[in-house]
Structure 1
Amino acid sequence: MNILVSSYKFKKDLAYLVLVFLFISNLTIAQENQFQAATVGFYNVENLFDIYPSAGLIDGNKDYQDEFYHINIKREDIPKYDTVNCKCRLTEENLKGKKVVRELILIDEFTPDGPKAWDETKYNQKLRNLSKVISEMGADVTGTAPVVVGLAEVESREVIEDLIAMPLLQPFNYGVVHYNSLDKRGIDVGLIYQKDRVVVTKTQKYELEIYNTNGRRDYTRDILRVDALLDGEPMHFLINHWPSRRGGEAASSHKREAAAELMLSIFNEIREEDKDAKIISVGDFNDDPNSPSIKNVLNSVDKKRKVKDGDIFNATGSMFEKGFGTLAYRDGWNLFDQILTSSSLVGDNYDSYQLYRTEIFSPLYLVSREGSFKGYPNRMYGGDTYNANGYSDHFPVYSILLRKVKK
């Protein structure tokens, strides 16, 4: 009996010593390797509009790609500005020497007199709510707000400027990259970045030219490319908001496949400049990780261990396999908001920035607690019903990058 007790005690003591040794070893490794962290996020902020009715102005006397912008104008005043009834395709050649004002689908929707009674109080509440979300993405690990955030469904550069001026974001000294697109709803993509850590070296928008089954052009969002130095390290960011599933998933699939082809061409363009370039593509793809656009056109890989040189890694792919999503529709979840990277960001050598972890940001305050949307993302408007404590119909996503601090 005593021998058995002694044997048990010896094994217990040995197990304890092993645990102590492992703890000390891990502590020593952690002390030897200090890391620098950076969060890169994406957020579809759902209809971030100011309170003024606006239309899209294209001045054909200039380069329309750069000079297309929104102007505050009422629907009935459009003829005063429009110099030509242009039913032509909006191309530089057709617009040369002309000035065209396009009526946007949501021209009256987000105004004080519109169906949502969208006023300054509600607009500022939306900005405060969104700023809280952005300030907290990845902060539990990094201790700070994201260094880069891609945004979708913003009306203009001005609304992004208003967003980063909010008290919760102002300390991070964010800069803005934004181009107006030809999107018929008047929404664009954009990017904010901490100017103290990110130096933008190049920006470019890539226009997506797609058509409906009737042969008419479907004006949609561009893909935004931003080349930068993140803490001195070259990095390339692509911001996407691909065509919606309006008309049905299958019927509209070709539009998102065209967007995927455009994004792939940008990947290849960057890799021709630098085969080891680090590329992070974020966005609302309006498709899931297993959709043809993502899986077949991009040929994306969901598992880190299967990534080979030249692959595109879907950092959010494995989440979808586990049933997670970023938006819900008719009691079903989709993971439209995704982060895809070049293979050069996937590895265990943290001498330079590498992917550490990727998350869907869904704290309790971002989840509806009651009503028909209970359990869904907590949005500010369900139809025309206002919810002051709402945010967006999408959860944001983010990745944390790590690299060893050089001594």
Structure 2
Amino acid sequence: MKTLKLSILFLLTLVFVNVNAQEKKKYKIHTVAFYNLENLFDTINDPLKYDEASPIMEMHEANRSEVYLAKVKNMAKVVADIGKEDTNNSPAVIGVSEVENRQVLVDLVNDPQLLDKDYGIVHFDSPDARGIDVALLYQKALFKPTDTSSFELKIYDDDTRERVYTRDQLLVSGKLDGELIHIIVNHWPSRRGGEARSRPKRVAAANLNKRIIDSLQSIDPYAKIITMGDLNDNPNNASLKEALKAESKKKKVGFKGIYNPFEDQFKKQGLGTTGYRDAWSLFDQILLTQPFLEKDYETFRYYKSGIFNKNYLTNKHGRYKGYPFRSFADGSFTDGFSDHFPVYVYLVKEVKDEGESTKN
């Protein structure tokens, strides 16, 4: 069999070189990412939300605006950098969590570091008790939303049976360079009270996620679906393995199956996106349905995944050296970024028409 070499060019193309025939093929590449922005709250007290407990609102009022502007600037830098090294562009689409409202997203996408990317916003207010939401940002030139909806997760306290208000799951369908894909953005319930006690809440979130995926596949069995988010579970936990039935090996992903490229990064490489009690967790993940795994590249296919853990995003000293350089600690602003690293996948597609542009 003839061998192929793969290289990524800054013209946002991939070139496969057939060693024997010197045959070249060009490929478009786009970054799809997710980032937990760690308490991106504004400085305004919203009487309808419990935002008084946000780190910014707990600060002295005179410092809030300065901290907020620095926080937005830092978040914009990271978003601008994800994927840039390989694609010379920021993500075509990026899901985010821990945002208070639409206005903080408007401020984010209008930061000078992102302004020329012309990001659009998909956001719904959710009933979360902390007042935090998920959202999707997309470059308008690359992705065109065709349908958006929000799915409420109803879970209840084990003892009181009172409802626990948490984040909705956001579904955005749209065309990436003319090709229909579906993206679900998640922020599943936390591990408050312990992993075992809180586990049913995340399994419930995974079951809701699976129902959304099943509904899309009932319309189109070959639907290209990406589900992403801060799942507050590792890739080998029950919510991922039993409820979503995600597989870590491409060859095991069957018809309508789900692939999790981050499981081996966690289990075999020991990588993580957030640290707690001197241990790594890989809570931030991006999963894809089987059609992204086909071997031809006539339409967008999965190419590779990664954790964006550049040096500037990590603590340099102390007990948490190497862990994410978070924004807030001990009641003050650190001028850091987030307590989570972002994650990303690359999608590639062959460019067959010689006249078709390969630039984003």
Asked if these proteins are the same fold (TM beyond 0.5), I'd say yes
Aligned partner of 1:402 in structure 2 is 348
* Cα deviations by residue, 1:338-385 (Å, 9 ceiling, x for unpaired): 011111111221110000000000000001001332211001111313
Q: Which of 273, 279, 283 is the aligned partner of 1:326? A: 273
Secondary structure in 2 matching 1:55: coil
| 1:281-360 paired onto structure 2 within 5 Å | 281-321=227-267, 322-360=269-307
Partner Cα separation in structure 2 for residue 237 and residue 205 of structure 1: 12
- Which of these residues, 50, 65, 77, is aligned with residue 132 of structure 1? 77
Structure 1 counterpart of 2:181:
235
Q: Report the counterpart of residue 110 of structure 2 in structure 1.
A: 165
The separation in 2 between residues aligned to 1:366 and 1:116, in whole angstroms, is 27
Q: Structure 1 residues 302 and 117, CA, compared in 2 at 3 Å: closer, same or farther? A: farther
Return the match for 1:247 from 165, 168, 193.
Answer: 193
Matched, 1:54 2:46: yes
Aligned partner of 2:99 among 147, 154, 163: 154
Secondary structure of the corresponding residue to residue 141 of structure 1: helix
2:204 maps to: 258
Corresponding position: 1:277 with 2:269: no
Question: Separation in 1 of the partners of 2:319 and 2:145?
Answer: 43
Question: Structure 2: how far apart are the matches of 1:288 and 1:28?
Answer: 44
Match of 2:163 in 1: 217
Q: Which residue does the alignment assign to 1:65?
A: none
Q: Is there any run of 5+ residues in structure 1 with no aligned partner, and where?
A: 1-18, 57-102
Equivalent in the alignment of 2:137: 192
Contact kept in structure 2, 1:110 and 1:116, CA below 8 Å:
no
Change in CA separation of 1:116 and 1:372 when aligned onto 2, cut-off 3 Å: farther
**Does the aligned pair in 2 maintain the 1:53–1:108 contact within 8 Å?**
no
Letter of the 2:198 counterpart: S
Does 1:365 pair with 2:312? yes
Asked if 1 retains the 8 angstrom alpha-carbon contact of 2:39 and 2:54, the reply is no
**Displacement after TM superposition at 1:54 (Å):** 1.3
Normalization by structure 2: what TM-score?
Answer: 0.90
Structure that is richer in strand per residue = 2
CA contact (8 A) 2:255 2:290 kept: yes
Return the offset for 1:109: 3.5
The one-letter code sitting in structure 1 at the alignment partner of 2:46 is: S
Question: 1:25 and 1:287 mapped to 2: Cα distance?
Answer: 42
Question: How far off is 1:197 after superposition?
Answer: 1.0
1:377–1:235 distance in 2 versus 1, CA, 3 Å? same
| Structure 2 CA distance for partners of 1:406 and 1:328, relative to 1, 3 Å | same
Q: What RMSD over aligned residues (CA atoms) do the two structures have, in Å? A: 1.8
Q: Which has the higher Rg, Structure 1 or Structure 2?
A: 1
TM-score normalised by length of structure 1: 0.80
**1:279 alignment partner AA:** I
- What SS does the aligned partner of 1:33 have? strand
Could you say if the C-alpha distance between residues 220 and 113 of structure 1 is closer, same or farther in structure 2, counting changes exceeding 3 Å? closer
Contact 1:110 1:117 in 2 (8 A): no
Deviation at residue 110 of structure 1 after TM alignment: 4.2
How far the C-alpha of 1:108 sits from its partner, in A, is: 5.0
8 Å CA contact retained: 1:109, 1:115: no
Q: In the superposition, relative to structure 1, how do residues 237 and 24 fare at CA in structure 2: closer, same or farther (>3 Å)?
A: closer
State whether residues 164 and 170 of structure 1, in contact with CA within 8 Å, keep that contact through their aligned partners in structure 2. yes
In the alignment, is the contact (CA less than 8 A) between 1:116 and 1:384 conserved in 2?
A: no
Change (3 A) 1:352 1:52: same
Instruction: Find the aligned partners of 2:20 and 2:108 in 1 and give their Cα distance.
Output: 41
Deviations along 1:30-74, one digit per CA (max 9) or x if unpaired, are x62100011000000000000111132xxxxxxxxxxxxxxxxxx
Corresponding residue number in structure 2 for 1:183: 128
Question: Which one-letter code corresponds to 2:131 in the other structure?
Answer: G
SS at match of 1:151: strand
Distance 2:52 2:190 in 1: 19
2:119 matched to 1:174? yes
- 1:133-181 Cα deviation digits (max 9, x unpaired): 1111111221111000000000000000100001111111100000000
How far apart are the structure 2 equivalents of 1:143 and 1:404? 18
203-212 or 130-139: bigger deviation: 130-139
Matched residue pairs, number? 337
> What does 1:39-50 align with in structure 2 at a 5 Å threshold?
39-50=31-42
- Closer, same or farther: CA 28–264 of 1 in aligned 2, 3 Å: same
Conservation of the 8 A alpha-carbon contact between 1:41 and 1:146: yes
In structure 2, what is the equivalent of residue 64 of structure 1?
Answer: none
Contact 2:105 2:121 survives alignment (8 Å): yes
What amino acid does structure 2 have at the position aligned with 1:225? L
**Cα distance change of structure 1 residues 24 and 174 upon mapping to structure 2, 3 Å threshold:** closer
Aligned to 1:383: 330
Identity %: 42
User: Which is helix-richer, 1 or 2?
Assistant: 1
CA distance in structure 2 between the partners assigned to 1:116 and 1:373 by the alignment:
29
> Quick check: 1:51–1:118 contact (8 Å CA) kept in 2?
no
Q: Hey, what's the Cα distance between the residues in 1 that align with 2:142 and 2:63?
A: 36
Q: Secondary structure at the match of 1:54?
A: coil
